Amino acid sequence: MEELRELKARLETQRPVDWDGLPDLNLYMDQVIGYMPRQLIQYEEAEGLTSAMVNNYIKDGLLPRAEGKRYSRVHLAYLTAICALKQVLPVRDAGLLAADNGGGEARDMYERFRQALDQALSDTAQRLDTDCPEEELPRLALTLALASYANKLACERVIGLIREKAPAGEGKSKKNKKEK
Pairwise CA distance, residues 77 & 63, whole Å: 10
| Per-residue pLDDT at 96 | 82
Per-residue pLDDT of 29-71, as tens digits, reads 999 999 999 999 987 666 789 999 999 999 998 899 999 999 9
Per-residue pLDDT of 145-178, as tens digits, reads 999 999 999 999 999 998 888 776 554 444 444 4
Phi then psi for 78, rounded to 5 degrees? Answer: -65, -40
H helices of the chain, in order, are 2-13, 29-35, 51-59, 73-85, 91-99, 106-127, 137-165
pTM for this predicted structure? 0.86
Average pLDDT of 6-14?
Answer: 96
Bridge partners of 70, per DSSP, are 67
Residue 58's CB is within 10 A of a number of other CB atoms, namely 16
Q: Which residue has the higher pLDDT, 168 or 13?
A: 13
Phi then psi for 2, rounded to 5 degrees? Answer: -60, -40
